[in-house]
Amino acid sequence: LVLEFNHDLPMLEQGPYPIFLKQRIKGREGHLSNEQGGSLLMRLCHENLEKVVLAHLSETNNSPEKAYRKAAVVLEKCGLGKTGIVIGRQDEPGPMIELA
């Protein structure tokens, strides 16, 4: 499963972007925050879920650690604490993931 975990809302709100850009990012047609990605992950959890790739993380308004923590908490609540979490990076390829 690949899900966007684009931004941490407090980091976005306190970050360097102009107001109009912050509003676009947070808007209905913008990007998913870690909280929104986590909520969607909660709805999509199922017993056959093997890996979750956290995608499109902002380098300015997020951190891999914050996104990972949110996904890990959600997976634990779903009873899927052993499900693999992969951080999708912008500047380097991720591990090979075999699709069945």
100: pLDDT strictly greater than 80:
no
pLDDT, tens digit, 9 for 90 and up, residues 40-65: 999 999 999 999 999 999 999 999 99
Structure tokens given for 5: 């975990």
pLDDT for 99 equals 84
Mean pLDDT of 64-75: 99
Overall domain count for the chain: 1
DSSP string, the chain: -EEE--B-HHHHHHSSS-HHHHHHHHSTTS--BHHHHHHHHHHH--TT--EEEEE---TTT--HHHHHHHHHHHHHHTT-TTSEEEEPPSSS--------
* In-domain check, residue 95: no
* In-domain check, residue 74: yes
What is the pTM (predicted TM-score) of this model?
A: 0.93
* In-domain check, residue 39: yes
Mean pLDDT of 23-35: 97
* In-domain check, residue 56: yes
The domain of 33 spans 2-87
